[in-house]
Amino acid sequence: MTEVLLVRHGQSEWNAVGRWQGQADPPLTDLGRRQAAHAVAGVREAQVGAIVASHLQRAQETAAIINLGLNIGTVATEPDLCERDAGEWTGLTRVQIEQAWPGYLDRPNRGQEASHPNPAPPRRPPMWESDQALLQRVTSALANLYDRAPDDRILAITHGGVIYAIEQRLNGGFKPMANLMGRWVEVGSGGTLIALGKRVTLVDPDEITIPAGI
């Protein structure tokens, strides 16, 4: 079994202005870089043996800053850990999305998860990457991590949409995740998701940012 600490990257320029990123590639803000630097202490305590990151620069830069403080080795790149494709919503703010797709951002199922056995899925635009497609590629990435370190701990710098999908796949429900917050997950052979561990916060409490979208 491999223990993977999935961590959301630091604040990006689009996070700062409330634009949904999907697979667009904005860099970190200065705050995002400070968040990553602050995360070094928490990652050191986690005693990870390797660092991997999505290929998007907000994840790559976050991983590089953390690795600079730990000097674990070369940061590996796992493209399949990149953010969910947001389709037509890429680059839009919540206000713009609500204007063009009224009601689509409402998630009544969040409040019904505990009481309703089959809550209605949220509505999304046509080009939105499905949960099935997202989890299929993420499973492939996790399989690579298991093969790289079958009995170790790995830090994976990824994205909010990826972590949310894994949490919900393992019945973890939904709760907004801030930049430089993460979740431990146990992974088996072939990228099998075994169990969720605890959520962790690696950012300075005074610099917590919860982006409006993915």
User: Is 101 inside a domain boundary?
Assistant: no
pLDDT at 150: 83
* 48 assigned to some structural domain: yes
Residue 140 lies in a domain: yes
The predicted pLDDT at position 149 comes to 84
Residue among 9, 129, 159, 167 flagged as catalytic: 9
Which one is catalytic: 3, 61, 78, 83? 83
Residue 150 lies in a domain: yes
The answer to whether position 32 is within a domain reads yes
Calculate the average pLDDT of the chain.
Answer: 93
Specify if 117 maps to a domain. no
Give how many domains the chain has, as a whole number: 1
Q: How sure is the predictor about 117, in pLDDT bands with cuts at 50, 70 and 90?
A: low
pLDDT digits (tens, 9 = 90+) for 1-54: 999 999 999 999 999 999 999 999 999 999 999 999 999 999 999 999 999 999
Q: Is the pLDDT of residue 148 over 90?
A: no
Q: Classify residue 100: in a domain, yes or no.
A: no
Residue 9 annotated to the active site: yes
- Residue range 136-156: average pLDDT? 93
Give the pLDDT confidence score for residue 88 in this predicted structure: 98
For residue 98, is it within any domain? no
Model pLDDT for residues 173-184, shown as the tens digit of each residue? 889 999 999 999
Q: Is residue 83 among the annotated active site residues?
A: yes
Cβ proximity of 36 and 185 under 8 Å: no
Q: How far apart are the C-alpha atoms of 100 and 90, rounded to whole Å?
A: 13
Q: What percent of the chain has pLDDT over 90?
A: 86
Judge contact between 10 and 61, C-beta under 8 A. yes
3-state secondary structure of 162: helix
pLDDT of residue 107 exceeding 80, the answer is no
Q: What is the CATH number of the domain that holds 79?
A: 3.40.50.1240
Domain residues for the domain of 20 are 2-86+129-207
